[in-house]
Amino acid sequence: MNTADLGLPVDVPSTALFTDQYELTMLRAALKAGTAERRSVFEVFTRRLPDGRRYGVVAGTGRVLDAVENFRFDAGVLGFLREQGIVDDETLEWLAGYRFRGDVWGYPEGEVYFPGSPIMRVEGSFAECVLLETVILSILNHDSAIAAAASRMASAAGDRPLIEMGARRTHELAAVAAARAAYIGGFTTTSDLAAGFRYGIPTVGTSAHAFTLLHDRERDAFQAQVDTLGRGTTLLVDTYDVTEAVRAAVEVAGPELGAVRIDSGDLLLVAHRVRQQLDELGATGTKIVVTSDLDEYAIASLAAAPVDAYGVGTQLVTGSGHPTASMVYKLVARAETADPKAPLVPVAKKSSGGKTSIGGRKWAARRTDAEGVPEAEVVGTGPVPPGLVGRELQVQLVKGGEVIAREPLDVPRDRHIAVRAKLPLSATQLSRGEPVLPTEYVHGGSGS
């Protein structure tokens, strides 16, 4: 597949209300104070990775670009804001003409990140940038969490394909986003047709236990499925007795049976028994697909089992215990006046409790050792050191309000596979540990 993100609008008239009220409160006050048009730089980053994770995965960038394009205050949205008294007439007039006309830079989708990495940088007036905080964080936090879980599962699975099948375990729209993020993280297919329609992700699906229970005999259910879908279909064999089901499946479909699916029990033990039985029945080419509350640890535990593919649902779409990437969107530089030529001044929150941040517009580059293996994530302000020039990680995504970096979905997927393969070997360990690359800060210059 090499299908581009279609850039379709989300299933609401506008993304403008995917925001928190305080953003409009700040806008209203800034307009009144005369500070709304000050040139500003906001950055998306995370202060830490989820406990035990070695790297993060950037996902959702394509959806952010769609959301920014669709961030429009139409008549219905403006009417709601007026009726609720959320903003005054001056602010309503300003919002009616809102278009993001700034620039966005970011790590390319599928890239990995670490604590402090400037994953996305949004530049423009304070007014136009501050409104995008919630929608950007909503997308990146969700999709990056799913992609990170998917990446760990893909590493554990090795060359065996992974099927995303978590739509019934999350919100119906989140399920589509999760399938997209999982594909970037290394999954091969999805059971969610909406994801297939919107993003061109390959879809798969056969039958559930209900189909077997519908029939008087398990054999009748198998026969109906084979008659309809052909001998290459996948038959679910654990509704009643697995041994009897495998025997009936091969008798119905013959040795050309495509696959059997196991959805319960001790998967390691059952998979070995089923493989032996299939071989004895002459179905040596029939594959074994396992499902049933899998996560990266369960997948790793099945590495030595005769399993050909994994189907993952709940643990994937919930980030395998970490449903958010904990990213934040912070103002790091701003001008002292509304003059477009006014220099930027670094700004940063000072706080106890681990919520401090570093001011200034930042660049990022990945330093490698003599053998080309990454050894540090270098983040800095001011000029890029000569040894890192050309290795900068951020690319421009939006220029003057125009999206310039849309990609077919296979591009970030391939990018992630390639980037992950270049990380130190410890990156794919599932045991608890620190980020595989340390973040080093280089300070210099100003916010401009």
Residue 356 pairs with which residues in a beta bridge? Answer: none
Distance CA 108, CA 58 (A): 7
CB 141 within 8 A of CB 323: no
Could you write out the DSSP letters of every residue in 300-346?
HHTTTS---EEEE-HHHHTGGG-----EEEEEEEEESSS-TTSPEEE
List, in order, residues 6 or more apart from 314 with CB less than 8 Å away: 166, 169, 293
Instruction: Classify residue 384 by its DSSP letter.
Output: P
First-to-last C-alpha distance (Å) of the chain? 41
Please give the structure tokens belonging to residue 182: 């999982």
Distance CA 427, CA 420 (A): 8
Residues paired with 378 in a beta bridge: 365, 440
Distance CA 309, CA 351 (A): 48
**Global pTM?**
0.93
Predicted confidence pLDDT, tens digits, the chain (448 residues) = 344 455 544 444 589 999 999 999 999 999 999 999 999 999 999 999 998 899 999 999 999 999 999 999 999 999 999 999 999 999 999 999 999 999 999 999 999 999 999 999 999 999 999 999 999 999 999 999 999 999 999 999 999 999 999 999 999 999 999 999 999 999 999 999 999 999 999 999 989 999 999 999 999 999 999 999 999 999 999 999 999 999 999 999 999 999 999 999 999 999 999 999 999 999 999 999 999 999 999 999 999 999 999 999 999 999 999 999 999 999 999 999 999 899 999 999 887 666 778 999 999 999 999 999 999 999 999 999 999 999 999 999 999 999 999 999 999 999 999 999 999 999 999 988 899 999 999 986 544 4
Strands 120-125 and 103-106: antiparallel
Nearest alpha carbon to residue 49 among 353, 236, 319: 319
Rounded Cα distance between 259 and 256, Å, is 9
List, edge to edge, every strand of the sheet that includes 362-368: 362-368, 374-381, 439-442
Residue 354, both tokens = 């681990």
Tokens (6 digits) for 265: 């029990």
Residue 383 CB partners (closer than 8 Å, separation 6+): 444, 445
